[in-house]
Structure formats: structure tokens, C-alpha cells
Structure 1
């Protein structure tokens, strides 16, 4: 594993782990319950459908294989996955518009201990010094 990894996050955090909520969590919430007078919900749904068809759902969010293990890992997209990054940035713009919230882009070369990886993403248990 090498290269740069990106994560798009809000300012709300997951307790008790402290990592920031990702753009997909907010995007799915907006699709389920769109705010009144928001016109981009259909476009938001189209982008989410593209990711559902073109990005694997990670099989692990924990180092343990125990079914009740705490899922504390976070997802990062590979900066080399050009189309995924481009579409993520479009999704970020839609979420910011629809939810009237700010999304930050985090970058790292060290996302943590990898528990899942494919061509487009990694899921990693964070190192102590990794951006959250």
C-alpha cells in the first residue's frame, strides 16, 4: 500500500471513537429525509447509485473477525482512483448545498492498519497521529 488517501468528513464525530462522520453517512441521511425546498436530492440519489454500482462495500471495519467486534475503522478513497475522487467531489458539493454543512477533505499517506483494500479504497484502523 502506497500513495495518498482521501477522506471527506463533516464536523460531527462518532462517539466514543472520535472520528468524524464521512460524506456518505450524511448523503444517505439527506436522501432518506431531504430538507424542505432542496432541489438537488434527485441528483444526490443518482450519485449514490453510481457509488453503489462502482465501489465495493467493505467487508470489514474491525481487526477482529468476531461478529460483535467494535467497528472502529474508517474508509479512505485512493487518490489514484480518479473517477471515484471526481464523483466524490461532486457528491460533496451536493451534500454541502442540500445539508448546508461544510465537508472537509482529509489527506494522508498513512491511513492506519489496513483491514480492507480494493482498487479504489482502503478501510483502516487509525494510527494515533492520523487525521480524523
Structure 2
């Protein structure tokens, strides 16, 4: 990770208790998929997009700076701005969630995601600094 790298996070206006950061796009998208019947409009598109991420984005191994098994998992997921296909598909997912779920999604950007606890080619998971957007 270079200091000049830019990272994106897509969030709702709802806060994730008890930590106070905003809930992410995937939390809302998976909740929508659970609530939709398979025959509902957009259900196929939503499932298709989520399935693509399940196949093409690694599940992070950590969400905490601490290696203690009961450490609070407060790290946030950020997508690297140069992960073009991931960003394109995230924006498709945003459009689906906004239309189907009537939820507004906000795009956050930062060059300082926080203390990185997991990183791969497409994303970083980081415990936010005090000035990291949430």
C-alpha cells in the first residue's frame, strides 16, 4: 500500500452499533436478498452481483489489530480505487440496493483508511484512524 493510494467504501446513513460507523453496502445487500422472494423483480440481479463478489473477493482473515480471539472486530472494509472491475460491480450493486431497498448509499473516499489488518489485490481492511471517514 502506497501513501498515495485511494480507497473507496460504500455506506448507508444507518450506524453500526456499538462502534458508530456507518453500515456498509454488503450488509444491506445481503439483508435485501434474504427478504426478497426468488421470483421478485431484481432478485436475480442482486444474487448475480453478490455471487460475483463471493467468487472474486477474498474473505478477510482479520477485522482487528489484536490477535486475541475475543478482540473487538472494528476494522472497516475498503476497496482499492484501482480495482476497476470491483468498483464497476460495486456501483451496479449500489444502483440495485438504492432502487430495490429504497436506501441511499454514500461513496466515501480516503487515502488514510487506518491501521491495515488485512490486504489483498483488491481491498484493505483497516481499523480507522480518528480522521478516517466512517
How many angstroms does 1:66 deviate by? Answer: 1.3
Contact residue 38 and residue 98 of structure 1 kept, 8 A:
no
Stretches of structure 2 that go unaligned for 5 or more consecutive residues are: none
Query: Of residues 4, 7, 10 in structure 1, which corresponds to 2:9?
Result: 7
Q: Distance in 2 between matches of 1:39 and 1:49?
A: 17
8 Å Cα contact 1:8-1:23 kept in structure 2: yes
SS in 1 for 2:12: strand
CA deviation vs aligned residue, 1:23-81 (integer Å, no higher than 9, x gap):
0000000011128x951111000000000000000000001111111000000000000
* 1:48 maps to 2:50: yes
If the length of structure 1 is used for normalisation, what is the TM-score? Answer: 0.96
Distance 2:105 2:34 in 1: 19
Q: Secondary structure at the match of 2:33?
A: helix
Work out which of the residue numbers 15, 26, 29 in structure 2 matches 1:27.
Answer: 29
Aligned length in residues: 131
The residue aligned with 1:87 is 89
* TM-score where L is the length of structure 2: 0.94
**Distance across 2 between alignment mates of 1:38 and 1:24:** 19
Deviations 1:7-26 (A, max 9, x none): 00000111121110000000
Q: What residue ranges of structure 1 are gaps of 5+ in the alignment? A: none
**Runs of 4+ with deviation above 4 angstroms:** none
CA RMSD for the aligned pairs? 1.3
